[in-house]
Structure 1
Amino acid sequence: MKRELNYLIRVIFSVLILLISVLTVNSQTRIQGKVIDSNTREAIIGATIKCEDNQVGISTDQKGRFSFEVDKPSREIVVTAIGYIPQRIVIDSVSSLIEVMLKQDNFHIEAVEINKKKKYTNRNPATELIDLVIRHKSQNKLKKKDSLYYEQYEKLKFGIVDPKSVFGTGTNNLSFFYNNVDRSVLEGKDVLSIYMQESLSDNYVQQNPSKTKKIIKVEEKTEFDAKYVNNSNIQSFMGYMFQPVDLYEESIYFINKQFLSPIAANAKTFYKYYVKDTIRTERDIYVRLLFEPRNPTDLLFKGELAISMDGRYAVKGAQMEIDEKANVSWVNDLKLRLSYFKDTSGVMLQDTTEVTVVFGRGSRDALFGYRLGVNHKYDLSHEVPSGIMGGAPTERMPQLRSFSPQDRPIRLLMAEEATYRNIDRLNNMPSARAIMAFGYLLSQGYYSLGKFELGPLEYVFHQNNIEGNRFRLGGRSTSAFSEKVYLEGYLAYGTRDQDLKYNFRTAVSLNGKNITTFPAHYIEGSVQHDIFEPGRGIGFLKGDSFFRSFRSNKPTKFFNTDAYRLGHLIEFGNHFSVSSTMTLQRRNPIGDLQLPLSSDSSQFLPSLHTSDLQFVLRWAPNEKFYYRNLSRNTIIENNPVFSLQYNKGLKGVLGGDYNYDALRFSFSQRLFMNQLGFGDLTLSAGKIWGTLPYPLLEMPNIQEQRDRHTISYERVNSMEFVADQFLKLGYDHRLNGFLLNKVPFIKRLKLRELFGARMFWGDLSAKNNPYLGNSVVYFDKNLHGETMTKVLGKNPYWEGYVGLDNILRVLRVQYYVRMTYKEAKEPVKDRFRLSLHFSF
């Protein structure tokens, strides 16, 4: 009985195998064969076999063999290989081995002599290979994986080259610095790290929707005396200047510039490529490509790539550096090294990134920067934990721990370990603190007293036509006073009007955290008594700096203003914020400013009282910034900023005389254009509903302190244009030498082109036009009896400029032109401006 049972099981098993075999044959077709050189009869490694009917393909192995299955029968395959003529093969039978013989296409990848004296041709084995690399970029790009996790270790160092030349060789109190020099960064040179930062993070990538997330869990960095140095700003600045490098992006953003990647879509337009040789390992074969810029003054690299020949055409390694003729200032050397490894599934994953930059001038090296990134513990099928992708792309764990030895994939050198101790020791040295205090006064304009600091220095003295000589003493609190309460204010006195002005502002945290850090949540209040130009907002820095004493068209019309403000701000982790503000202002015209009533020009409006409620919605995705106390400056990247503002005038509330509604929208973004540089675009539009005197309507901002979110006009008089519905446009472009780099002799100067334009267009409704309505005030006149303010017609106001940057590495010259409404006598239509401007 047992024997019969075993026999029955074997029969059933055999039948199942037969059925599976039949089903497999009927459902799939196997194509297999070998690709060889028609002359040498040697196997061709890395040849690509494609079955176009089935949209599948494969590459040959070390022995030139291939084998794959297709879902439906196919009668033709296409076989290609670098340096060979493509061939189409008709399949007569799938049961036998197909032998494909390819003929050489007058190129041979194994022995190519690199002779740059010969004329370069755009069609050669190297460019054919680059075409394949570019074609396969999307499937090899790390961020395109469906679900991915890896752990990343990063180390960033910045410091001095040859510290003994700076500190000397004597036995002074700084000898502990140059006794701990690092010789691993620059070959043959000693360097001293004065800033170092390490981090260990979990990184997640997902598609649908496409998102990345970096969560820093371990971090350690040098900390300078917080009285003089905002350590968070140093960290932000270093992270901005030395950003992570992704070769698969179109451009590599570094030291505030865009360098075109050698595998960008249009790379062949700017680079030359040469096949150097091949590298064979036990598992794979790689082709080494040399590349160099067609124009060495452009923002390009030169170096070497290693390309895999397994059909994926992924980058195995890259060594790149900038040409010594490149249009880059203050940088003597920049080197990048990237390496990748192939995982078990055949995907090439980046494991190491190393960036070294040397700053200096000529042959003199002064400073260095170094960034190392190591990616490991990859998981290509990792399921992203629920909810982890929300919030900002980069976040820190609430409780960051310090590094333990097992956290570092690469052990610290003794000199690197000493960096943390050296900075702590430096902070306790009186001489070092004196140097930092002087540097803080020059750079920020404040002198620190510990819990408070005096300044800014630039605003101590100012001169105008109303106050005469204006003297001001101001200051603000620091984190040593409180991290949850902020104070600032000033007292000012004019020798001509003999009036004491003042400002006091305070803010209190509502979330129990540091009031200055993101995301913030606080209430604030301020009281101010001062004089302001019409159209200028109240604030601690109100445009009366020392340097504005020398403006050519000094204003003669002001408002003597008393202002009271109460506000609330809350920021969210996705960089969305909501602010609400209640402002009371009582403005009295002084100087030459008069407000004659449109109903009776012999009568004058004595004052303007407003009670204003404001709401602002702001969204700045992925925004990074530098900050000091409540002041923030955006780190300009390619992320947009949106703002929507609504104002409501409340008549009869706390002395307000006007009812009105105002809606304003603004948008700004930096547009990166690879080799064509970048442009900064700002757009603003709005409308005001209500019957209002013209000083309460919209006017162009005149020579205000610039930031990326406001539009400032250079060739407009104060109060020259007014509107209650308006559109503003500002654009600034930096070509980074793209044109001048092609001009012989001129390109040696490393000049950079810049240009820009400003537009203001608006309309004034009949009820707010004093010559059409009788409920407002007439436009004021200048000393010659000419009306100062205009209502724009159908044509907008335009002004523009062209200029050159990087003159002698420190100067910028701009030529401003007023392009419309040229009938105005002031300001002068054309104007040159020379300014100091440092950039890489």
Structure 2
Amino acid sequence: MMISLIDSKKSLTLFLFITCFFVYTQAQTVVKGMVRDAQTHAPLAFVSVYFKGSKGVISGEDGSYSISTTNPKNTTLEFSFNGYKVLRKKIETGITQNLDVNLEVAEMASVTVNSRRRTKYSNRNNPAVDLIRKVVDNRARNRMSAFEYVQFQQYEKMELSLTNKPEKLMNSRLLKNYKFLVENQDTTRLEGKALIPVYLEETLSDKYYRKNPSKEKTYVLAKKKVNLGEFVDNDGITRYLNSMYTPIDIYEPNLTLLSNQLLSPISDLAPTFYRFYLKDTVEQDGIKLVQLTFAPRNPNDLLFRGSMFVTLDGNYAVQKIQMGLTKHANLNWTRELRIKQDFERGADGRYHVVKSNMLAEFALSKKASGGLVGERTVSYKNYITNQPAPDSVYEGSREVIVDIPGSATDSFWTANRHTALSATEQKAYTNMDSLKNMRSYRRLMDWATFLLAGYKAAGPFDIGPVNAFYSFNPVEGFRLRFGGRTTPKFSKRLYFETYAAYGFKDERVKYFLSGAYSFNKKSIYTFPYNFLRVSFQHDTKIPGQELQFVQEDNFLLSFKRGDNNKWLYNDIFIAEYVREFGKNISYTFGFKNWKQQAAGNIVYQKFDGTGISTIRDITTTELSAEVRWAPREQFYQGKTYRIPIYNKYPIFRLRYISGIKGLANGDYDYQQVTANIFKRFYFSQFGYADVVTEGGYTFGQLPYPLLTIHRANQTYAYQLNSFNMMNFMEFVSDHYASVSTDYYFNGFIFNKLPVIKKLKLREVAGFKMVYGGIRRENDPAYSKEAFVFPTDETGRTTTFSLASKPYMEANVGIGNIFKILRVDYVRRLSYLENPDVPKWGIRARARFEF
């Protein structure tokens, strides 16, 4: 009987177990799918997916989710993410089903007015704000600088890809000759778009950090990148990408991205400019994490929208973050920007970043079908903290290239990459090698270089620049010029440049010839400079105008306001040696013999005791030395110039000139010292300012043409390094100090104005001042050796000293008009009594900016 009872209990238990299992499997509801943005179709991570009244899950980095329930009453699934409308979907119970959803941005939602008052967002008594402030308070202890020593291995991949819809790429006429490129598509990274890699660069490094004395050291173990050929500055692409996609330290108060500084959501000012919300609490490896979402208070500001997970273990560290710019952000050419970072808890209990990814898509407009995608992925491993490395590790420059045998081979990279390349990325190297050797590609790039840089290749010779072929001025009238220069195809050591010009009014021929010898077998136009150049120029010049990045006879600069009849005829012989070093220090030693003859309205005259005598010409012979230091400078290299990529570091320039009388017919003894400092100041959400300070002193008794003639501007373009309301040759000094400030607000005010904010305009303002003077020995009012200042046709003096007060001008303007144009109202503030001077003016400047 007892055995029968036990058997009955076992049978009953087995029956109940089977029944429960059967009921459970029959009643369980499983929903899987993807969550995407309704407009961009980009996957959305960290979206809360839940049945109302029940615990839920969050979507993964790729937007995927999976949720299950056994409650038959759970028939509505909700999707919630900050900044988007809450989406509710009816589901079928008791089955496994797929459900892909698209979330719409809340800003697009219609507004319904009712009697119920909406709760106003506030930082006060807001637990989300309290939590972010704890994260801010613990920033220092969660950064790398909190450790005495840190070392790790870093793998970095930078990639550029063409993007378009797959069918448009396949049918593109522009790419019809490059089918092998079109066939190498990646359709997985951006929803609905195909990516064609055109540039790929990989770097494997060992990194060392020491807190005291502070030093960071990088040992580059291997580097591999696509070579786009002779028409492209391949090193310049690397520098440009490094400046655009700077490494992200989420704990920095401000993040530098796309040449702008953006306020981090982990910043002291973050609660002022961001809204924060608590979304969910999860547990991972026994540690509670809080999901914190954030969005800008003003959607037009350059701020982020996204989500982060914060640890509640006392560190208040970021465990994961994903964010991007709002679609209304005042940023040009950028259709999409995503940043993802993953952190991992180390043996020391701290969280270290193990992977960082930044992706940006650029296009001419938001609606353009095609564009360019840039992506930087960095992974980190083998963290070692607070273990000192030998002092020898930190000696020398910040970066050292390690020559590892076989580091260029595919087998080395296959074994040492932190993450394997996709099949599309692997083909990028071979495809671009094939492309640069194609005749059609080389022809296309040749004409593109001609249109953008103004030079046309003709074998080992470049003809140009095209913008100087034709110009005009009051002295020469209609002027034609033709010239060019040799390329490395001619010689990697010897470089020549020449031009000839003719003025139809003065009926004079002008010419220029230079020869240079490169000591490092690099072009004399590319970094690092190491060359000796000798040149002779017989040509015209406006006194005091030393223009950078443009030719003085540029056609566009021919249009000038007011009297533009102060010119010189020059014979200038220059010999100079230029050397640059890896620490961005350069020096120049020079010899210059300059014979100048007045032209136009200028006449060189002085008192000779019996009256005024005319001096036909002046000859000076100079020895010079210049040192320039630009810490961590970056630039993109053009054909004959560099486009600087400014950062937060200053640029210093110190120059000394000694004039020697009697040497090569030199007429005067003198010395001149000039110092110049440029600095960009970043103010986070309030924009940035470029400040230039300069000072100079000239020793010796000299006529005014050899003193400092302050840079003026009589064109209708706004020039950064000139005084835009000053006339040519209006002021001269033998000692002076100047300051120039250009402030870029980045739309801080316009972004908050209705209607105006849709135009994405940006405010600019500036102020320029120079104060100086002329010593009595150089002032024609006191010295008989000094030249008389020039006068106009009525006898009024047109050149002055700055002895009584500084020259000042200020400007306010609107930038980013059509994403390229800046227009300023410039007001002259002093010396308004001078003859024929403008009190104000409208000036324009074209500038590509993000």
1:210 to 2:247 alignment: no
Q: 1:710-725, aligned counterparts within 5 Å?
A: 711-725=721-735
Q: Distance in 1 between matches of 2:625 and 2:523?
A: 24
Seen in structure 2, the aligned counterparts of structure 1 residues 195 and 518 have a Cα distance that, compared at 3 Å, is same
Contact 1:625 1:632 in 2 (8 A): yes
Q: 1:533-682, aligned counterparts within 5 Å?
A: 533-536=542-545, 542-553=551-562, 555-600=564-609, 601-628=611-638, 631-682=641-692
Q: Distance in 2 between matches of 1:166 and 1:767?
A: 73
Seen in structure 2, the aligned counterparts of structure 1 residues 418 and 113 have a Cα distance that, compared at 3 Å, is closer
Q: CA deviation at 1:440?
A: 0.6
Question: 673-682 or 382-391, which moves further after superposition?
Answer: 382-391
Seen in structure 2, the aligned counterparts of structure 1 residues 282 and 519 have a Cα distance that, compared at 3 Å, is same
For residue 597 of structure 1, give the secondary structure of its aligned residue in structure 2.
strand
Question: 719-728 or 430-439, which moves further after superposition?
Answer: 430-439
- Matching residue within 738, 743, 746 for 1:733: 743
Contact 1:740 1:746 in 2 (8 A): yes
For residue 788 of structure 1, give the secondary structure of its aligned residue in structure 2.
coil
Q: CA deviation at 1:710?
A: 7.5
Q: Distance in 1 between matches of 2:813 and 2:287?
A: 53
1:682-731 deviation digits (Å, cap 9, x = unpaired): 00001111111101101211239999998312111111011100011111
Contact 1:543 1:704 in 2 (8 A): no
Q: CA deviation at 1:656?
A: 0.7
- Matching residue within 318, 323, 346 for 2:326: 323
Q: Distance in 2 between matches of 1:780 and 1:790?
A: 9
Q: Distance in 2 between matches of 1:581 and 1:630?
A: 20
- Counterpart in the other structure of 1:476: 485
1:486 to 2:487 alignment: no
Question: 233-242 or 605-614, which moves further after superposition?
Answer: 233-242
Contact 1:485 1:515 in 2 (8 A): no
1:237-273 deviation digits (Å, cap 9, x = unpaired): 1221122211111111111222110001211110111
- Matching residue within 739, 751, 754 for 1:744: 754
Q: Distance in 2 between matches of 1:387 and 1:685?
A: 41
Opposite residue 506 of structure 1, the aligned amino acid is G
Seen in structure 2, the aligned counterparts of structure 1 residues 388 and 510 have a Cα distance that, compared at 3 Å, is farther
- Matching residue within 790, 794, 800 for 1:784: 794
Seen in structure 2, the aligned counterparts of structure 1 residues 785 and 663 have a Cα distance that, compared at 3 Å, is same
Seen in structure 2, the aligned counterparts of structure 1 residues 713 and 389 have a Cα distance that, compared at 3 Å, is farther
- Counterpart in the other structure of 1:376: 381
For residue 405 of structure 1, give the secondary structure of its aligned residue in structure 2.
helix
Contact 1:219 1:402 in 2 (8 A): no
Q: CA deviation at 1:439?
A: 1.2
Question: 484-493 or 747-756, which moves further after superposition?
Answer: 484-493
Q: RMSD in angstroms over aligned alpha carbons? A: 2.6
TM-score where L is the length of structure 1: 0.83
Q: 1:119-138, aligned counterparts within 5 Å?
A: 119-122=120-123, 123-138=125-140
Contact 2:713 2:728 in 1 (8 A): no
Contact 1:704 1:712 in 2 (8 A): no
Contact 1:755 1:802 in 2 (8 A): yes
Q: 1:138-537, aligned counterparts within 5 Å?
A: 138-162=140-164, 164-166=167-169, 168=171, 172-226=176-230, 228-360=231-363, 361-365=365-369, 366-389=371-394, 393-397=398-402, 401-402=408-409, 404-511=413-520, 515-536=524-545
For residue 401 of structure 1, give the secondary structure of its aligned residue in structure 2.
coil
- Structure 1 portions without partners, runs of 5+: 1-111
Contact 1:466 1:497 in 2 (8 A): yes
Q: Distance in 1 between matches of 2:507 and 2:681?
A: 49
1:375-433 deviation digits (Å, cap 9, x = unpaired): 11222135345455455544544687355201211111111111122222222223222
Q: Distance in 2 between matches of 1:335 and 1:279?
A: 24
Contact 2:718 2:844 in 1 (8 A): no
Identity percentage of aligned residues: 32
How many positions carry a matched residue from both structures? 728
Contact 1:183 1:189 in 2 (8 A): yes
Segments ≥4 residues shifted beyond 6 Å: 112-116, 704-710
Q: Distance in 2 between matches of 1:113 and 1:373?
A: 27
Seen in structure 2, the aligned counterparts of structure 1 residues 350 and 640 have a Cα distance that, compared at 3 Å, is same
Contact 1:740 1:753 in 2 (8 A): yes
1:155-205 deviation digits (Å, cap 9, x = unpaired): 112222126425626894321122110123212321112222211122221
Question: 395-404 or 461-470, which moves further after superposition?
Answer: 395-404
- Structure 2 portions without partners, runs of 5+: 1-79, 87-105, 107-117
- Counterpart in the other structure of 2:69: none
For residue 363 of structure 1, give the secondary structure of its aligned residue in structure 2.
coil
Q: CA deviation at 1:340?
A: 0.7
Contact 1:663 1:688 in 2 (8 A): yes
Q: CA deviation at 1:221?
A: 1.6
1:572-613 deviation digits (Å, cap 9, x = unpaired): 332222221111111111222101113455211221110111
Q: CA deviation at 1:835?
A: 4.2
For residue 431 of structure 1, give the secondary structure of its aligned residue in structure 2.
helix
Q: CA deviation at 1:274?
A: 1.0
Q: Distance in 1 between matches of 2:321 and 2:209?
A: 23
For residue 612 of structure 2, give the secondary structure of its aligned residue in structure 1.
coil
For residue 530 of structure 1, give the secondary structure of its aligned residue in structure 2.
strand
Q: Distance in 1 between matches of 2:266 and 2:594?
A: 59
Seen in structure 2, the aligned counterparts of structure 1 residues 187 and 224 have a Cα distance that, compared at 3 Å, is same
Seen in structure 2, the aligned counterparts of structure 1 residues 120 and 813 have a Cα distance that, compared at 3 Å, is same
